[in-house]
Chains A and B, each alone.
Chain A
Amino acid sequence: DTAVSQTPKYLVTQMGNDKSIKCEQNLGHDTMYWYKQDSKKFLKIMFSYNNKELIINETVPNRFSPKSPDKAHLNLHINSLELGDSAVYFCASSQASGSLTGELFFGEGSRLTVL
């Protein structure tokens, strides 16, 4: 049973196209995230949603739009793709307990290549 699953795993597309990556978690967690990992392996947070509400939006171009239809899903839509968007995008989830936020569970990653 996959805890955090994201699709597609690989995505190759042309510059200027629009694409989406979907993420689902079956852990019952309240909080979901999108992280971007570039070619140097840096892991940088992009967005965080808690119970379908956006709580973190780091400096990310507005071509990137997250959507959370319910607390188990967090999708990422990217408009007008650019070469620099090529990266591995990781979805993750965690459970908050009072003032403590627990372990991050990552999906397998979606490798986006923009040609």
Chain B
Amino acid sequence: GENVEQHPSTLSVQEGDSAVIKCTYSDSASNYFPWYKQELGKRPQLIIDIRSNVGEKKDQRIAVTLNKTAKHFSLHITETQPEDSAVYFCAARATGANNLFFGTGTRLTVIP
């Protein structure tokens, strides 16, 4: 099955700086790559996703990049704010599959 690795496991940045979280996946059939944010004590929620037919997608301060050849994808958060502090999960899924394989999570702390 799919194996998704995520780095770093923890990340601290100063408010206003950028944060980058990286993931790699093993299954070349994977073509859907969402990112979920989980605030303390809350449920994971989708913040952005990318499909394999594009290399980059942006939504305000958040962007994702995908390199299918190298099988890695990244989340970029610019101008970080304290409310960005949370655990972020990357995930991968193959076409027609139901199973979403999650990375191990990155705890992001934005220091005011």
* Interfacial residues, chain A to chain B (CB-CB below 8 A): 31, 33, 40-45, 48, 50, 55-56, 58, 90, 94, 96, 99-101, 103-104, 106-109
Contact = CB atoms under 8 A, between A and B. Distances in A.
Residue picked from A90, A94, A100, most chain B C-beta under 10 Å: A100
A90 B43 contact: yes
A100 B100 CA distance: 12
A42 B104 contact: yes
Contacts of A58: 99
B98 A50 contact: yes
A48 to B, nearest CB: 5
Given A43-B89, A48-B99, A108 B42 contact: yes
Dominant SS among interface residues on chain B: strand
A-B CB proximity, top 10 nearest: A106-B43, A43-B102, A99-B96, A41-B105, A103-B46, A48-B98, A106-B44, A108-B43, A56-B99, A99-B95
Given A41-B87, A101-B93, A103-B49, A96 B44 contact: no
22 contacts: A31-B98, A41-B105, A41-B107, A42-B102, A42-B105, A43-B102, A43-B105, A45-B100, A50-B98, A56-B98, A90-B43, A94-B98, A99-B95, A99-B96, A100-B95, A101-B96, A101-B97, A101-B98, A103-B46, A104-B100, A107-B43, A108-B43
B34 A103 contact: yes
Nearest to A50: B98
A104 B105 contact: no
Contacts of B44: 43, 90, 104, 106
A95 to B, nearest CB: 11
